[in-house]
Structure 1
Amino acid sequence: MTPRSPSVNEELRRRSRERILEAAVEVVGQGGFEAATLADIARRAGVARGLVSYYFPGKRPLLQSAVHRLMHRTLAAALEREPRTEDGAERLARAIDAVLGLAVDRPMVMRTHMAVILQDEGFVRCEEQQQLAFLLRDTVERYGSEDVERDYPLLRALLMGAVVAVLLPGAPMPAARLRAELFHRYGLAWESGAPPDGGPPDGAL
């Protein structure tokens, strides 16, 4: 048998890692973080348990990488959907809607993610997080920021705060209200992005 080339081996490793990240989102989304095990994730991904540990030192960094990948892919799809646009305001509107949409559509995953990054171990910097950061920074720059180093972290913080507000147990805020506030802050038209049905909330500016 002819040995596989380095490029083929690299592609196989990339695919295995992708399957693990997808499986982590699925398993945590169904049963929560505490109930999920690396063995469960390996079974869902169709890989050996040891391969999960080879790529990720533990469940916490695996989850963060998996959710950052989910956010990156969701954001990229929103920014590049048809009709394609280079308009900075429209792209910012799409970014806000993509992140808020994840809080609404994937509440278990996003609530777990926020809880994990607020614990002592903190924020994990990984390849997926860097890809997400690049898209958000690019969005801020295209929007017309004169100080991306200041405005990118602020947008990130506002989006994180909005996600927490949507998911807050016992006192959630409606995503449409949060969207209206963010759109007002950035001077975005309600009709931009992917507006929810029903129009802006009563009293929204």
Structure 2
Amino acid sequence: MSRSAEQNRDARERSQTAIIEAAFAVFGEKGYHEASLAEIARRAGVAQGLVSYYFDGKEHLVGAVLDAYFAKMTGVAFGDESADDRLRLIIDMSLITADQAMPQQRITLGLSILPATHRLYADAEQRGLDGVLAAGAMMQDLFRERGAADPALEEIMLRSVLEGVIVKRAVYGQTYPLQAARRWLHDMYGLGEPAHPLPLVASDAAEVALRAVDAYPED
């Protein structure tokens, strides 16, 4: 029995999602230049020809990976939470993402600064500009509700701090003290002591060669 158009579409979407997720992992582990489409296809469980069919070369695949990254990072939606609760959620989601998606964070960081791939990052950032601007406006509204004198500056500074934490986590891995950083952010914004620790990935000392901060071990 032949498949319906909807079944074919679902199969295509599943294959493309599997390839993008595999590309995230392989690019994160090996870097852009060392990663191969053959390895990505193997990790995704598809034929290499299917990768080339859906994505016209490595640059096109990197663009799709970055599009997925920007969509995830800007796709935050809230209900009727208070401004303080929304701020707590933004902090926690950013730190959890930094912890649980280290390979993705490393590859996006590398793509953004390497001369050979900066254009790919900049192009993806431009494609995701509407989402970036909407996320920024949402954060400014949050600070406006909290009575900030300059909500736009507060949004810039929060993003700068969170992006810095993400970069450090990508560099130092699971030795970077995310729990302590979270407590510092809560204190800085007057949010009180966190009720529960972040659900972080268990530390794997064999994976990480560098110690970021010895004075603030994870809880």
TM range (shorter): 0.5 to 0.7
Q: What does 1:125-136 correspond to in 2, within 5 Å?
A: 125=125, 127=127, 130-131=130-131, 134-136=134-136
Unpaired segments ≥5 residues, structure 1: none
User: In the aligned structure 2, how far is the partner of 1:62 from the partner of 1:54?
Assistant: 11
Q: How high is the sequence identity, in percent, across the aligned residues? A: 22
Matched-pair contact (CA < 8 Å) for 1:27–1:41: yes
Q: What does 1:23-102 correspond to in 2, within 5 Å?
A: 23-29=22-28, 31-34=29-32, 35-42=34-41, 44=44, 46=46, 48-54=50-56, 57-72=59-74, 76=76, 85-102=80-97
1:89-131, Cα deviation, whole Å (9 max, x unpaired):
1111111111111222222221222222122315431555643
Note if 1:113 corresponds to 2:115: no
Say if 1:169 and 1:128 are closer, same or farther in 2 by CA, change over 3 A: same
Residue among 89, 99, 108 paired with 1:104: 99
Matched-pair contact (CA < 8 Å) for 2:98–2:169: yes
Say if 1:49 and 1:196 are closer, same or farther in 2 by CA, change over 3 A: closer
RMSD value, Cα: 4.0
TM-score of the two chains, using structure 1 as the length reference: 0.65
TM-score of the two chains, using structure 2 as the length reference: 0.62
Shift of 1:161: 0.4
Shift of 1:165: 2.3
1:62-102, Cα deviation, whole Å (9 max, x unpaired):
442233344346xx3xx55xxx5421111111111111112
Shift of 1:24: 2.3
User: In the aligned structure 1, how far is the partner of 2:156 from the partner of 2:53?
Assistant: 34
Note if 1:154 corresponds to 2:157: yes
User: In the aligned structure 2, how far is the partner of 1:149 from the partner of 1:17?
Assistant: 37
Residue among 173, 177, 181 paired with 1:178: 181
Say if 1:15 and 1:135 are closer, same or farther in 2 by CA, change over 3 A: farther
Shift of 1:159: 0.9
SS in 1 for 2:55: helix
Matched-pair contact (CA < 8 Å) for 2:99–2:174: no
